Amino acid sequence: MVNDKVKKRSPWQFVPTQYFAEGIPWVIVNQLSTALYKSLEVSNLFIGFTSFLYLPWSIKLFWGPFVDSIATKRKWVLWMQLALAVCFGILALTLNLSGFIFISLIIFTAIAFLSATHDIATDGFYLHALDKKEQAFFTGIRSTFYRVAMIFSGGVLLAVVGWLAGENNVKIKLGWTTAFIIAGVVFLLLYLYHTYILPYPKTDLPVKDKTDSVPYKLIFKEYFTQNKIGVILAYILLYRFGEALLLKMAQPFFLDKPELGGLGLGLSEVGIYYGTVGIISLLTGGIAGGWLVKKYGLKKLVWFLALSMNIPTVLFVYMAAAKPLYLMSIDFSWLFGAGSIIRFHPIIQLCIIIEQLGYGLGFTAYMVYLLYISKGKFKTSHYAISTGIMAFGMMLPGFISGAIQEQVGYFWFFSISVLMTIPGMLTIIFLPLDFNDD
């Protein structure tokens, strides 16, 4: 019976898992694929060109209205999660085929389109299932669990790959096959959990105009006639430009040998570092950012949060120059027996702690702003337009990142990334920030 369906649940029951699910395919397509291709000895130039995989997230605004008008957001979420589980399984099965590089690009493209559609539905469901105060508070939670997905996909799964690959990556394909199987199983479990737990918000209904067609004209008119839309668009496009340039080359930097300008870390080391201290710092920053915005409002904190996100980029310049490869050992033999020694790079880990903490704080402000400018009955489509523009702003610098890095090396590449954070922050001066935080 429809009346028996739960209209409202605590957001804690589904927001963390939904945004964990939203983050996994994005990371696998745009970041884990970088480590995959690097471990298969593909060039940085090629890796940079794979930024075209951002395209579905950039153009999803064009089919956002179909998600608004065909079925409920709840149904779309479940359909996409099941389809993604299947795609990860296919990716695992094809890894040992000849021509896998070409095959993987096709599969990654399919995953990207499914994931972009899943994003539209998930973000729309969030707007329907939570009120304004809940949206402000849970922005920090959702961005945190999105980043938890990034740690899981780019950290835990990467550590699994490195561990299974063994010395000199002799079993690298076994490692990647296992990682993609794990991703598929996780998505299947998320699908089953959300089938039971997602509520049925009263406002989560297909939205159509009087002619029963998708009202593209009205949707885009309402969005692009907002006050100071030019400044808003510049902010969305440029705010993450420096980060986007850096992001595509971060893993190659950690994995490349020192003689090539990198740090020479192993796959498992990179995975473990981001999966331990990284996740703790991220959780702290994301939750603190959401709490601060809810308590003091975005207008008072926008500069502090923007600087928190962008200043840590300087740490990559430092690591590229200093190569802080000092190893520290902690002997746990007295507790776990002989051979129980943990070795790690404390300075690199400290840089990761600061970077992840700052990102957790700064990205919260950015996502809150995108929520605030998503208004009216087409707010799902408006949010899809905003995040699509954001993805386009991530794709362009990522596309040229490999070519720039190969020309100037990691030190100057990261220096350029630092400079590219400035234009986005300057747009804040002109940004309309007079929103009702209620």
Find the CATH number of the domain harbouring 183.
1.20.1250.20
Let me know: does 313 contact 419? Beta carbons within 8 Å.
no
Worst-scoring range by mean pLDDT, 32-41, 64-73, 156-165, 392-401? 64-73
Worst-scoring range by mean pLDDT, 111-120, 159-168, 223-232, 417-426? 159-168
pTM of the model: 0.79
* pLDDT > 50? residue 260: yes
Output the CA–CA distances (angstroms, integers) from residue 59 to 205, 254, 376, 392, 398, in the order listed: 23, 31, 21, 8, 16
Residue for token pair 């490692």: 175
Let me know: does 46 contact 146? Beta carbons within 8 Å.
no
Give the confidence band of 184 by pLDDT, cuts at 50, 70, 90.
Answer: very high
Helix segments in 10-62, DSSP class H: 15-27, 33-39, 44-49, 55-59
C-alpha closest to that of 298 among 148, 142, 137, 424? 137
Specify if 2 maps to a domain: no
Let me know: does 156 contact 105? Beta carbons within 8 Å.
no
The pLDDT mean for the chain works out to: 87
Specify if 4 maps to a domain: no
Helix (H, G, I), strand (E, B) or coil at 342: strand
Q: What is the torsional sign of CA 29, 31, 37, 43?
A: positive
What domain count does the chain have? 1
Specify if 138 maps to a domain: yes
Give the Cα separation of 103 and 101 in Å (integer): 6
Per residue in 119-174, pLDDT (tens digit) is: 989 988 888 888 777 887 888 788 778 878 888 888 889 889 988 887 666 788 99
Q: What is the pLDDT of residue 3?
A: 46
Specify if 435 maps to a domain: no
Q: State the Cα angle at 431 between 64 and 128, rounded to 5°.
A: 35
Specify if 3 maps to a domain: no
What DSSP character marks residue 377? T
Per residue in 45-72, pLDDT (tens digit) is: 999 989 899 889 888 878 877 887 788 8
* pLDDT > 60? residue 183: yes
Domain that holds residue 172: 9-430
Give the confidence band of 1 by pLDDT, cuts at 50, 70, 90.
Answer: very low
Give the Cα separation of 414 and 406 in Å (integer): 12
Q: What is the pLDDT of residue 2?
A: 44
Q: What is the pLDDT of residue 331?
A: 65
Per residue in 300-328, pLDDT (tens digit) is: 999 999 999 999 999 999 999 999 988 88
Q: How many C-beta atoms lie closer than 10 Å to residue 321's C-beta?
A: 12
Give the confidence band of 397 by pLDDT, cuts at 50, 70, 90.
Answer: very high
Specify if 436 maps to a domain: no
Worst-scoring range by mean pLDDT, 26-35, 163-172, 227-236? 163-172
Give the confidence band of 209 by pLDDT, cuts at 50, 70, 90.
Answer: low
Per residue in 94-103, pLDDT (tens digit) is: 998 888 999 9
Worst-scoring range by mean pLDDT, 234-238, 273-277, 361-365, 369-373? 273-277
Half-sphere exposure of 145 (CA within 13 A, CB side): 15
Q: How many C-beta atoms lie closer than 10 Å to residue 416's C-beta?
A: 18
Specify if 1 maps to a domain: no
Let me know: does 159 contact 272? Beta carbons within 8 Å.
yes
C-alpha closest to that of 64 among 51, 73, 55, 74? 73
Let me know: does 261 contact 320? Beta carbons within 8 Å.
yes
Give the confidence band of 33 by pLDDT, cuts at 50, 70, 90.
Answer: very high
C-alpha closest to that of 104 among 181, 24, 31, 36? 36
